[in-house]
């Protein structure tokens, strides 16, 4: 069973320390929600796990089944089974969704030796159609340029479609729920459930500001991230508590002893 | 009077009457054609080569212009012509080597001989071409009202040789006709730099519709100092596509002149250059008539130490009304050593303009975009290929025929690989 292990992770951006020692272990098939106010370090955590060059790792480690991820570039992390659903997915003018997905699928199938192992087109088509149906993605998506002129909701749907196409071992969802109306939210939530429960046993790190999505996706663990540290961990009831009491409550509780 | 006196001010490019006459005789040309060559020679003698002071030539040093020995024997090199569809040839379409067209349709060729006029910046090289053109020259004539449905192809190859590459392509689309011509040019690398002067003249009668695609894959020893001239009649439509991937140095003059109302001109270019290539395009869009449009779109992907220079002029004539024109030049820099220098000039000589403008950019790849693509498992090289492929899509989309598009993509394989080629089969 696969394990993603984050140990004492400390990260800075522009010489400012954002994460001051994160410890977190996610196992295959588990859903971990990470909740926190704006500026708590949520996006830093997700982008660092994936290897964004803007962030400097000051210390600690991120291990996938014991293998160090921090020393390899982003594309290799992806090919090892990591996936990040972006909060702000980038637009790629002139590249259709269909050809992007096909290029990505084939890039992930290249063997260690460098030998190509392209997925034959009929199989690719069948896989794509199946996932599109599951996520209620319209056919017109395929010929449009990736995220170019997409609404916020469409972008998030495309992130989910990619996640389902790639079947990652671990997926980090960076505020995938923000900017979605309730119907889209349900589709995304069902997509998450389907992926981690049934097919791929994907371990999920669901990073969110709001408790709303947790009505549809039931996390195994909820972690509260404040000022670059996980200050509380609990079950799904913790999300409800945060919703009623707010993040200030946690912060006050956290710093009470220091005053 | 036949002497070896150099007629041009630059000693590198001497050309005498004997050489020109010998060329005409070798090719079995009739007197009227030889007279035309000699008229070009006279123009060449009277037209100094650029000094480098001209705005168009300031960024293209001519000091190292290769020796051009026009008296050297022409290299035997094949040109492959695709066949003319049966229906089209029954309708009187002529598509052949220049030398064959002169023999079989002398009156037709004579009626459509280029008169030597055109943009000033390339006047000397145009005259030089008119005196020396030879192997690789093509004549295409489409009679009134005839539509050639399938694209016509010609591939011109030059073997390594000391002789310069000089050829002309003349396309005449009579009123109401329609045709697509794809011309691919390539050469075998030789030991020393050599000059190429490809000349192109396309004329469109009223309501004619022409697509011209040039795929230039010259070897790196070639200096391509070509010129292209498009003359558009009333309600005609020209779509031109220049795919520039070869040659160490290119200085291409692209001229479009609108001669009637309602003409539509679309000038497109794709440049994919690397190593120490210097691709310099200068365009002149002359806009005239009522409600005509002239739009230029050149996209360059520049690798390694490649440089792209684009000096383009739009001139909206005082006699025009309600015209639209645009010049757009975008450059993607894939290396810190690559560079681009787009220079737009607008001369609007009337107040009656529907639109006229320009857009020019040069920029490196967006890091966030690159990170996003790589996060899907694409290594840096594949991600770059995908981005360039997407960047080129606006021009590739405009290529009307799937097979022509495939040819263009094939020429770009050294740069963009075969990334995203299968989308039509997927969607």
Which residues in B lie closer than 8 A to residue A104 (C-beta atoms)?
376-378
Q: What is the CATH number of the domain that holds A74?
A: 3.40.50.300
CA diameter of chain B: 73
pLDDT at B1: 40
Q: For residues A141 and A161, what is the distance between their CA atoms, to the nearest angstrom?
A: 11
For helices A152-166 and A121-134, the axis angle rounded to 10 degrees is: 130
| Residues contacting B69, CB < 8 A, separation 6+ | B162, B163, B164
Q: Is B389 in the A-facing interface, judged by CB distances under 8 Å?
A: yes
A125/B379 CB distance under 8 A = no
Say if strands A67-68 and A56-64 run parallel, antiparallel, or are unpaired: antiparallel
Distance CA B212, CA B202 (A): 9
CA distance A231 to chain B (A): 29
The tokens describing A71, both together, are 């020393």
Alpha carbon B319 to its chain's center: 28
User: Whose CA is closest to A176, among A201, A226, A210?
Assistant: A210
B377 and chain A: CB distance < 8 Å anywhere? Answer: yes
The predicted pLDDT at position B80 comes to 81
Q: How far is it, in rounded angstroms, from Cα B20 to Cα B33?
A: 11
Give the Cα-Cα-Cα angle B219, B225, B226 (nearest 5 degrees).
100
Structural domain for A13, as ranges: 3-256
Give the Cα-Cα-Cα angle B395, B401, B405 (nearest 5 degrees): 50
Reported as a pLDDT band with limits 50, 70 and 90, residue B4 is: very low
Tokens of B72: 């050297």
Alpha carbon A6 to chain centroid distance?
15
Per-residue confidence (pLDDT) for residue A258, from 0 to 100: 60
Q: What is the mean pLDDT of residues A32-46?
A: 93
- pLDDT attached to residue B7: 42
Locate the domains of chain B by residue range: 17-371, 372-427
B333: helix, coil or strand? strand
Identify whether the C-beta of residue A223 lies closer than 8 Å to the C-beta of residue A231.
Answer: no
Mutate to test the interface with B, among A91, A103, A116, A164 (most CBs of B within 10 A): A103
CA distances from A115 to A99, A106, B183 (A): 20, 11, 35
Poorest-pLDDT segment among A24-33, B12-21, B274-283, B405-414? B12-21
Complex confidence, ipTM:
0.95
pLDDT at B90: 83
Residue B28 predicted with pLDDT over 80: yes
d(CA B379, CA B360) in angstroms, rounded, equals 30
Number of domain units in chain A: 1
Alpha carbon of A93: minimum distance to chain B alpha carbons (Å): 6
* Percent of chain A residues topping a pLDDT of 90: 66
pLDDT digits 0-9 by tens, B35-58? 999 999 999 999 989 988 899 999
CA distance linking residue B163 with residue B195, whole number of Å: 8
Output the pLDDT for position B3.
41
Q: pLDDT of B137-167, one tens digit each? A: 999 999 999 999 999 999 999 988 878 999 9
């Amino acid at each position: 069973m696969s394990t993603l292990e984050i140990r004492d992770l400390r990260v800075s951006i522009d010489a400012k320390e954002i994460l001051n020692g994160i410890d977190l272990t996610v196992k295959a098939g588990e859903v971990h929600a990470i909740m926190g106010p704006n500026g708590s370090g949520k996006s830093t955590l997700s982008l660092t796990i994936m290897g964004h060059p803007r962030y400097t790792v000051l210390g600690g480690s991120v291990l996938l089944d014991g293998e160090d991820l921090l020393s390899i570039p982003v594309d290799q992390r992806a090919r090892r089974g990591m996936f990040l659903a972006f909060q702000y997915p980038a637009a790629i003018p002139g590249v259709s969704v269909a050809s992007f997905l096909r290029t990505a699928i084939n890039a992930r199938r290249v063997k260690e030796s460098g030998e190509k192992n392209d997925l034959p087109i009929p199989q690719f088509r069948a896989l794509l159609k199946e996932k599109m149906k599951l996520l209620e993605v319209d056919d017109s998506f395929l010929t449009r340029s990736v995220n170019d002129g997409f609404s916020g909701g469409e972008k998030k749907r495309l992130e989910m479609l990619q996640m389902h196409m790639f079947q990652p071992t671990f997926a980090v969802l960076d505020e995938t729920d923000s900017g979605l109306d309730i119907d889209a939210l349900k589709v995304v939530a069902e997509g998450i459930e389907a992926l981690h429960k049934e097919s791929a046993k994907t371990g999920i790190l669901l990073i969110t500001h709001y408790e709303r999505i947790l009505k549809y996706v039931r996390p195994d663990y909820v972690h509260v991230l404040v000022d670059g540290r996980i200050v509380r961990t609990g079950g799904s009831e913790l999300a409800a508590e945060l919703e009623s009491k707010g993040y200030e409550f946690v912060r006050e509780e956290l710093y009470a002893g220091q005053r | 009077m036949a002497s070896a006196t150099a007629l041009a001010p630059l000693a590198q490019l001497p050309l005498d009457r004997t050489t020109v006459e010998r060329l005409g005789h070798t090719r079995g040309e009739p007197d009227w054609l030889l007279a035309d060559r000699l008229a070009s020679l006279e123009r060449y003698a009277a037209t100094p080569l650029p000094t480098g002071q001209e705005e168009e030539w300031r960024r293209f040093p001519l000091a190292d212009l290769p020796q051009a020995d026009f008296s050297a024997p022409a290299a035997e090199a094949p040109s492959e012509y695709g066949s003319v569809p049966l229906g089209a040839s029954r309708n009187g379409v002529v598509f052949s080597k220049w030398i064959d067209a002169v023999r079989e349709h002398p009156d037709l060729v004579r009626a459509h001989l280029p008169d030597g006029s055109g943009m000033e910046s390339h006047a000397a090289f145009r005259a030089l071409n008119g005196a020396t053109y030879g192997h690789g020259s093509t004549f295409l004539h489409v009679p009134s009202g005839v539509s050639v449905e399938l694209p016509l192809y010609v591939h011109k190859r030059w073997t390594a040789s000391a002789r310069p590459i000089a050829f002309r392509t003349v396309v005449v689309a009579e009123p109401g006709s329609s045709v697509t011509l794809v011309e691919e040019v390539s050469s075998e690398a030789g030991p020393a730099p050599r000059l190429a002067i490809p000349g192109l003249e396309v004329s469109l009668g009223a309501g004619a519709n022409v697509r011209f695609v040039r795929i230039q894959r010259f070897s790196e020893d070639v200096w391509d100092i070509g010129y292209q001239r498009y003359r558009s009649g009333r309600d005609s439509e020209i779509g031109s596509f220049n795919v520039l991937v070869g040659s160490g140095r290119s200085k291409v003059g692209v001229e479009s002149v609108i001669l009637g109302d309602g003409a539509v001109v679309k000038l497109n270019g794709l440049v994919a250059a690397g190593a120490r290539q210097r691709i310099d395009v200068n365009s002149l869009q002359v806009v005239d008539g009522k409600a005509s449009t002239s739009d230029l779109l050149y996209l360059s992907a520049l690798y390694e130490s490649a440089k792209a220079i684009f000096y383009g002029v739009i001139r909206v004539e005082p006699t025009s009304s309600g015209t639209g024109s645009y010049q757009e030049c975008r450059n993607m820099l894939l290396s810190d050593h690559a560079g681009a220098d787009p220079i737009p000039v607008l001369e609007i000589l009337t107040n009656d303009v529907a639109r006229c403008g320009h857009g020019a950019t040069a920029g490196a790849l967006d890091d966030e975009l690159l990170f996003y693509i790589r996060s899907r498992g694409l290594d840096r090289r594949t991600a770059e290929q995908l981005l360039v492929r997407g960047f080129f899509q606006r021009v590739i989309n405009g290529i009307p025929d799937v097979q022509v598009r495939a040819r263009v993509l094939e020429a770009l394989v050294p740069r963009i690989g075969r990334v995203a080629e299968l989308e039509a089969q997927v969607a």
